[in-house]
Chains A and B, each alone.
Chain A
Amino acid sequence: MSAQFPLWEVFVRSKRGLAHNHVGSLRAPDAELALRNARDVYTRRQEGVSIWVVPAASIVASSPDEKDSFFDPAGDKPYRHPTFYDVPEGLTHI
């Protein structure tokens, strides 16, 4: 039965978290039951206060084959990190 159910990706926001983090996946016949299954499987130990479920098929993912062309070019461009600036004294919240 479960093999026929579509796959859903589950995102949970913890009590102190600002963003929903991916926690895993599950199978469910539809969105409402996916949400309930996610509640039962992923928040039974008070892990979160908000849940998103997303059909796994709706997620567009980068391909492992494209890893080199996608990510390697950023490897030798350290100037993109904001570590070359002197932070003026007295500046907070940065």
Chain B
Amino acid sequence: MTSSLGVDLDASRYVLRLADDALILGQRLSEWAVSSPALEEDVALLNIALDLLGQARHLLTHASELEGRGRDEDSLAFLRDEPEFSCALLVQVDNGDFGKTIARQLLVSAFHVHLWRALARSTDEVLAAIAAKAVKESDYHLDHARHWTLRLGDGTNESHARIQSGLDAVWPYVHELFERDDLVERLLERGIAADPEALLPLWRQTVTEVLSEATLDVPDVSWRPTGGRSGQHLTGFGYLLAEMQHLHRSHPGATW
């Protein structure tokens, strides 16, 4: 049992990974503001981005408590530099066209729905509560991505080609989500983390069912880029951080 007041650096690092995934994906998605294919889709994507930001805030606050160094959610989000972020590469991949964004949303959301369901049983009660709330949101994110995947995949030749190419581009980054490093091993023993190896078959089933209904091919690639968890990020990540952190760094403590 983890007390919300006790310092626990392992748990803090793990929760920070989850927070960074949500925060950075939300930031990426918000780049669609006023430029998605339709006004209605703008609202849909930004709603999802806001859900992710909300999850990130809870997780950052929890990671901060577990860390016990007095870095609050804003400090963690806006004052860490690139190598200190531990988000997976998949969530920072550039948006590309709408097809690529939807492909990335499908893969991440399918991961999140199973991850949050598993973490809702975590022995870390705060994490379990955050996960239980996030499940409903991620269910909707998956539903959104699924419906668009079906329409693009089983739509016109152009839409099929675009989402297939988006899927091929983001697919290699998926493997990192299921890595089981020393940190995860230690937290699994304590019942805090979710077991990536147990999530993989669930994820695969969810995704392949959608892809098959959408007449899309499961990409066949052996390339498995990794490094996000240890702070080695994609080239575009620095630009994303610059945009996200600039206001807070230029005007420390700025509020609405």
Given A1-B37, A2-B37, A2-B40, decide whether A40 and B47 contact each other with a Cβ distance below 8 A.
yes
Residues of A within 8 A of B143 (CB): 36
Measured CA separation A44–B41 after assembly (Å): 14
8 Å CB contact of A40 from B37, B40, B147, B151: B40
Measured CA separation A40–B40 after assembly (Å): 8
Task: Tell me whether B5 is interfacial, beta carbon within 8 Å.
Answer: no
Residues of B within 8 A of A2 (CB): 37-40
Task: Tell me whether A13 is interfacial, beta carbon within 8 Å.
Answer: no
CB proximity to B under 8 Å, residues A54-80: none
CB proximity to A under 8 Å, residues B122-174: 143-144, 147, 151
> By the criterion CB–CB under 8 Å, are A37 and B37 in contact?
no
Chain B residue with the shortest CB-CB distance to A5: B38
Task: Tell me whether A26 is interfacial, beta carbon within 8 Å.
Answer: yes
Measured CA separation A27–B40 after assembly (Å): 7
Measured between C-beta atoms, what is the minimum distance from A31 to chain B in Å?
11
Residues of B within 8 A of A32 (CB): 147
CB proximity to A under 8 Å, residues B32-49: 37-41, 43-44, 47
Q: A21-56, CB under 8 A of B: which get 1 and which 0?
A: 000001111101100110011001000000000000
- Among B40, B41, B44, B143, the one with the most A-chain Cβ atoms within 10 Å of its Cβ is B40
Measured CA separation A8–B172 after assembly (Å): 39
> By the criterion CB–CB under 8 Å, are A36 and B43 in contact?
no
> By the criterion CB–CB under 8 Å, are B147 and A33 in contact?
yes
Measured CA separation A36–B234 after assembly (Å): 33
> By the criterion CB–CB under 8 Å, are B47 and A44 in contact?
yes
> By the criterion CB–CB under 8 Å, are A26 and B147 in contact?
no
Residues of A within 8 A of B41 (CB): 37
> By the criterion CB–CB under 8 Å, are A41 and B37 in contact?
no
CB proximity to A under 8 Å, residues B43-100: 43-44, 47
> By the criterion CB–CB under 8 Å, are A41 and B40 in contact?
yes
Residues of B within 8 A of A30 (CB): 151
Q: B178-220, CB under 8 A of A: which get 1 and which 0?
A: 0000000000000000000000000000000000000000000
Measured CA separation A54–B119 after assembly (Å): 39
8 Å CB contact of A36 from B37, B38, B44: B44
B-side interface residues toward A, CB under 8 Å? 37-41, 43-44, 47, 143-144, 147, 151
Could you write out 11 A-B pairs with CB less than 8 Å apart?
Answer: A2-B37, A2-B38, A5-B38, A26-B39, A27-B38, A27-B39, A30-B151, A33-B147, A36-B143, A37-B44, A44-B43
A-side interface residues toward B, CB under 8 Å? 1-2, 5, 26-30, 32-33, 36-37, 40-41, 44
Given A37-B43, A40-B44, 6 new contacts (CB under 8 A)? A2-B38, A5-B38, A27-B40, A28-B40, A37-B41, A37-B44
Closest 8 CB pairs of A and B: A2-B38, A37-B40, A40-B44, A1-B37, A40-B43, A40-B47, A41-B43, A26-B40
